């Protein structure tokens, strides 16, 4: 028997209370992240991105992409780019609350180097900017990484 969305939400919230995570809070971007995961901010002129890397292969990328009007179209373009690289890609449309905002995108599965990889593609709007939030884990990563990445995504706040 599967869990309902309500019980899944409570399970994630229970874990947040039982296992608090450290906060990243720099340059208007704020989120919780798992203890022991590496947080790196890269800049190139006015462009920037933040990567949160697990001790294994799982990671989350947060990257503003400028003023994109149609976030659904941006998610579709990202998906199409991935399809070019991963011919066995399977996707499902998805919605998720990130920073209190309902964000749409895709949940994606594909194989790479004999590993099954799961990826979440989400876009949110922060002021005039479209922000890509992409998380990814392979089947060799511990199952709890998906839960920890979900907690991180839900906690994201971006001040524009």
pTM equals 0.83
pLDDT on residue 5: 38
Q: Which of 27, 24, 15, 4 is nearest to 146 (CA)?
A: 15
Q: What is the DSSP string of 52-96?
A: EE-SSS-EEEEEEEE--S-HHHHHHHHHHHHHHH-TT-EEEEEEE
pLDDT on residue 19: 59
pLDDT on residue 149: 93
* Counted domains in the chain: 1
Distance CA 81, CA 87 (A): 11
State pLDDT tens for residues 60-78: 999 999 999 899 999 999 9
The residue range of the domain holding 15 is 5-158
Instruction: For the chain, 160 residues long, give each residue's pLDDT as a single digit of tens.
Output: 443 333 334 444 444 444 578 888 887 889 999 999 999 999 999 899 999 999 999 999 999 999 998 999 999 999 999 999 999 999 999 999 998 889 999 999 998 888 899 999 999 988 888 999 999 999 999 999 999 999 999 999 988 6
pLDDT on residue 158: 85
Residue 121's CATH number: 3.40.1000.10
pLDDT on residue 113: 83
């Amino acid at each position: 028997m599967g869990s309902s969305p309500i019980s899944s939400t409570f399970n994630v919230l229970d874990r947040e209370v039982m296992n608090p995570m450290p906060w990243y809070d720099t340059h208007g971007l704020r989120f919780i992240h798992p203890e022991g995961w590496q947080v790196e901010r890269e800049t190139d002129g006015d462009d920037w991105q933040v990567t949160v890397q697990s001790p294994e292969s799982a990671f989350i990328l947060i990257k503003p992409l400028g003023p994109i009007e149609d976030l659904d179209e941006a998610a579709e373009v990202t998906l199409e780019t991935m399809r070019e690289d991963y011919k066995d890609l399977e996707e499902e449309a998805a919605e998720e609350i990130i920073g209190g905002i309902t964000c749409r995108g895709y949940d994606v599965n594909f194989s790479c180097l004999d590993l099954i990889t799961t990826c979440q593609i989400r876009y949110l709007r922060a002021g005039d900017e479209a922000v890509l939030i992409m998380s990814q884990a392979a089947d060799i990563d511990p199952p709890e990484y998906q839960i920890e990445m979900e907690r991180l995504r839900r906690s994201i706040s971006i001040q524009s």
